[in-house]
Every structure is written in C-alpha cells, then in structure tokens.
Structure 1
C-alpha cells in the first residue's frame, strides 16, 4: 500500500542550513532511499565527506559548488549532480548574498555514520 507522507521532519544541523527529510531513516524509517529538501544560507559549507551512498543533488534556487578530488563544479537552478558512493566531495554555497535551495536523494538512505564526514 502506498504511504502518504503529510509532512517532513526537520533535522537539526549546525551552520544555519535547514534539512527537511520527506523520506528516509528519520521521517519514514526507510533505509533504502532518502529524499530531503534543503536550504543552505549564503556562505555555507560543510566538511569534505566520502559517503557510502550515491547522492543526487538538484538545485532549485541559487548555486551549489561541489568540490571533488581533482576539481570543482558549480551547479545552478534546474541542474543536477550525481556523486557516487566512495567519491570524496564537499558541498559549498559560494554566494555571499543568496541562499541555495536544493533537493537531495540518497541511496541507500543518508545517515551521519554513512556520510564519512571529515573532522
């Protein structure tokens, strides 16, 4: 039977970023996939990570810089990046004035333990 998710769960994180998990380990106890809506404030960044899940990031508004071993790329509204499990990446909102709004889909579902964050 399909499950109707009527509201996301807000996941508290430092740095001013908001995470609203619609599907995943917290909101629906789903381990196979997670879907979250996120808003990163101007100048936001996070430590590099080497996750053990694939992550699809779809930017809705603003820009996201994805740093990876060997380079970096910026993605804007309507663009998507796929970071595969085992790739070392770092996500940054390069704007000093604009938020970055995006959706992230992880398979299997995101968990802090599986993110492989540095520091």
Structure 2
C-alpha cells in the first residue's frame, strides 16, 4: 500500500536569516538515500555559503525569486520556473527580494551534510 507522509520533518538550515526546510522524503524523513524532496521557505535577505554538492539538485520555485550564483554567472529563478545544478557545480542560493521565496528542492541522491561541501563564509 502507498505510504502517506502526513507531515514533513523540519530540518535546521544553513544560512542567515534562518529559513525553514520541510523534508517530505529523504534520509531524515523516510530513510530514502536515492532522493530527497523538501519544501523550503526562505525570508527576504536569506543566503547561504557557496557549495559544491556531490548530488544533482532540481529546484522548482513556487513563490518569489531564488537567486542562484555560480562560477558561470547569476540566475534569477522566478515562481513557475526551475533550475538544475549538476553534481560538483559550485553554487550559492539566496532570496534577496522583499518577499523571500518558497521552493521545492529535489536532490539525487539524497541530500546529506557530508556531501553538500559548503565553503566557509569567507571563501
């Protein structure tokens, strides 16, 4: 029988000011190692350090604008759009707009703190 996920697991997020991560499927919520699916709600002004994850990350923006910086440039991903970051690609996510953003992140394989490879803030 299909398994209902009644509520997500709330996970502590990197970056400031704090954003909310709600994991529906992944290592914490369901024990999945091949994929993680999480809803992010980030306030205006949120940003995190650059990272070079070992996983592919597919991000679908539901509300607001998500800024994605990479060594190739900057993308502004608006509601109704998506962005794909390949494994090993150096990226930084932020929500500088006045309304913040809400988005879904799908990581293949599942997100782990050990495989995200965040840089120090000063890097």
Is the TM value for this pair above 0.5? yes
SS in 2 for 1:113: helix
SS in 2 for 1:63: strand
Q: Look up the match of 1:42.
A: 44
TM-score, length-scaled by structure 2: 0.92
Q: Look up the match of 2:35.
A: 33
Deviation at 1:115, TM superposition (A): 0.4
Deviation at 1:114, TM superposition (A): 0.6
Q: Look up the match of 2:77.
A: 75
Return 5+ residue gaps in structure 1 as ranges: none
TM-score, length-scaled by structure 1: 0.95
Compute the RMSD of aligned alpha carbons.
1.0
Q: Look up the match of 2:5.
A: 5
CA distance in 2 between partners of 1:90 and 1:56 (Å): 14
Moved more, 7-16 or 65-74: 7-16
Superposed counterparts of 1:1-119, under 5 Å: 1-14=1-14, 15=16, 16-95=18-97, 97-119=98-120
Deviation at 1:94, TM superposition (A): 1.8
Deviation at 1:9, TM superposition (A): 0.3
Return 5+ residue gaps in structure 2 as ranges: none
Residue-pair matches, total: 118
Deviation at 1:99, TM superposition (A): 1.9
CA distance in 2 between partners of 1:54 and 1:34 (Å): 11
